[in-house]
């Protein structure tokens, strides 16, 4: 029976295994409320810069094993090298995860996948630090090819600029696409690394549950203020339990005719609008093509910055009046404009 394929899976535990006392105390406190399925702790810590806390290594695995014996909760840790896999197996680890920095490196993922072959480990693959879905897909496929059956995905957000509300911007469209491509693979949200601050956890968790995620991985420490890594995002076990009382898991489907009728109607309306949107795009690109020809005939530069600037400002102002999100509208308009430039560029006289 797979551990990670349980519905409403909860993985919790400290960012790093720091001492025997810390691991056991956190595990026992988490166990008290019976809310967790898997205890997590990193023992090899990939720090961005040298000099940071690098983890407790094999000792940390021993503490995790003791915590498992004391509470009966299965244990999980991060592996970044084949040797880590070997040590994890030797210390009775049940689940390993591949960290975001490792997922971004196909060489490392392949080495780990080779080592995982024929093991009974269950594996979770975090999204890569950069917002490149193909690296995530590639890591998933490499692990899958090693013959393992119990594989899941963890969404922990992506490095980005200009997203001050997150430590790692969620870019929800990427995990949504992964769910579409691999519908039978559990998708777990790691709100701790997305948010970076404990006060942000609740909102991120609820959003992931609204999107039908299968589970959560949350960093919890018996005394977050003394944590050696990621102290601002770790939460006390009791606070975690209180948080679980407030969040709502949504059902995957519903069998109520009234609801089904209503949603089908609304979906029909959306379908029509989407069809219309596409025909508008076709018509628009045809015009761009004609403009491209005209500019070419007259040897005029394609990009007319002043004209574009005025149009953008005008459309953004209308969007604002109608409560359209500014970032959303800007992205849409800029994307259309870029595609229009491409059409103009390719136009043949
Ligand atoms: C972690 O889970 O503690 C961790 C280092 O995560 P990530 O690989 O997402 O940065
Ligand atoms: Mn961490």
Q: Which ligand is nearest to the CA of 196?
A: 2
Bridge partners, 219 (sequence order): 13
In what helix (H) or strand (E) does residue 12 lie, and over which residues does it extend?
A: strand 9-13
CB-based contact 249:210 (threshold 8 Å)? no
CB-based contact 196:166 (threshold 8 Å)? yes
Where in 36-92 does DSSP place strands (E)? 38-40, 75-79
Residue nearest to atom 10 of ligand 1 (CA): 100
Roughly what angle, to the nearest 10 degrees, separates helices 237-246 and 201-210? 40
Residue 155 Cα to chain centre, angstroms:
2
How far, in Å, from the CA of 49 to the mean position of ligand 2?
A: 14
How far, in Å, from the CA of 55 to the mean position of ligand 1?
A: 12
Q: Which atom of ligand 1 is nearest to the CA of 45?
A: 5
How far, in Å, from the CA of 181 to the mean position of ligand 1?
A: 24
Residues with CB under 6 A from ligand 1: 15, 42, 46, 99-100, 126, 156, 193
pTM reported for the whole predicted model? 0.89
Instruction: Give the residue, out of 44, 56, 78, with the most ligand 1 atoms within 8 A of its beta carbon, to mutate for a pocket test.
Output: 78
Alpha-carbon dihedral 183, 34, 76, 217, rounded to 10 degrees:
50
How far, in Å, from the CA of 71 to the mean position of ligand 1?
A: 24
pLDDT tens digit at each of 349 positions of the chain: 899 999 999 999 999 999 999 999 999 999 998 889 999 999 999 777 888 888 999 999 999 999 999 999 999 999 999 999 999 999 999 999 999 999 999 999 999 999 999 899 999 999 999 999 999 999 999 999 999 999 999 999 999 988 889 999 999 999 999 999 999 999 999 999 999 999 999 999 999 999 999 999 999 999 999 999 999 999 999 999 999 999 999 998 888 999 999 999 999 999 999 999 999 999 999 999 999 999 999 999 999 899 999 999 999 999 999 999 999 999 999 999 999 999 999 988 7
User: Within 10 A of 160 (CB to CB), how many other CB atoms are there?
Assistant: 14
> From CA 36, how far away is CA 7, in angstroms rounded?
12
User: Within 10 A of 161 (CB to CB), how many other CB atoms are there?
Assistant: 6
Burial class (CB in 10 A: 0-12, 13-18, 19+), 3: middle
Q: Which ligand is nearest to the CA of 232?
A: 2
Instruction: Give the residue, out of 26, 126, 175, with the most ligand 1 atoms within 8 A of its beta carbon, to mutate for a pocket test.
Output: 126
Q: Which ligand is nearest to the CA of 233?
A: 2
């Amino acid at each position: 029976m797979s551990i990670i394929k349980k519905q409403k899976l909860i993985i919790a535990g400290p960012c790093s295994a720091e001492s025997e006392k810390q691991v056991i105390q956190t595990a026992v406190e988490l166990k008290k409320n019976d809310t967790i399925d898997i205890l997590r702790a990193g023992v090899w810590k990939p720090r961005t810069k040298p000099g940071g806390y690098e983890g407790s290594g094999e000792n940390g695995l021993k503490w995790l094993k003791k915590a498992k014996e004391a509470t009966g909760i299965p244990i999980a840790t991060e592996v970044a090298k084949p040797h880590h896999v070997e040590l994890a197996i030797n210390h009775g680890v049940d689940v390993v995860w591949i960290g975001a920095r490792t997922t971004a490196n196909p060489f490392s993922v392949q080495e780990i996948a080779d080592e995982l072959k024929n093991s009974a480990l269950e594996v979770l693959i975090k999204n890569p630090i950069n917002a490149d879905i193909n690296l995530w897909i590639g890591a998933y496929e490499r692990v899958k090819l090693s013959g393992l059956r119990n594989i899941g995905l963890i969404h922990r957000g992506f490095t980005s600029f200009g997203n001050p509300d997150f430590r790692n911007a969620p870019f929800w469209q990427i995990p949504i696409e992964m769910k579409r491509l691999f519908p039978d693979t559990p998708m777990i949200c790691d709100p701790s690394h997305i948010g970076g601050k404990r006060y942000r956890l609740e909102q991120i968790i609820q959003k992931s549950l609204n999107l039908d995620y299968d589970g959560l991985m949350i960093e919890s420490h018996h005394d977050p203020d003394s944590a050696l890594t990621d102290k601002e995002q770790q939460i006390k076990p009791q606070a975690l339990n209180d948080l679980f009382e407030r969040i709502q898991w949504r059902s995957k489907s519903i069998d109520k005719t009234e609801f089904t009728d209503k949603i089908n109607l609304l979906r029909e309306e959306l379908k029509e609008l989407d069809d219309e949107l596409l025909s508008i795009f076709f018509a628009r690109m045809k015009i761009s093509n004609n403009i491209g020809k005209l500019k070419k005939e007259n040897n005029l530069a394609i990009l007319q910055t002043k004209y574009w600037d005025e149009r953008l400002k005008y459309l953004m102002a209308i969007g604002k009046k109608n409560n359209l999100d500014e970032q959303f509208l800007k992205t849409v308009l800029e994307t259309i404009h870029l595609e229009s430039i491409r059409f103009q560029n390719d136009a043949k006289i």
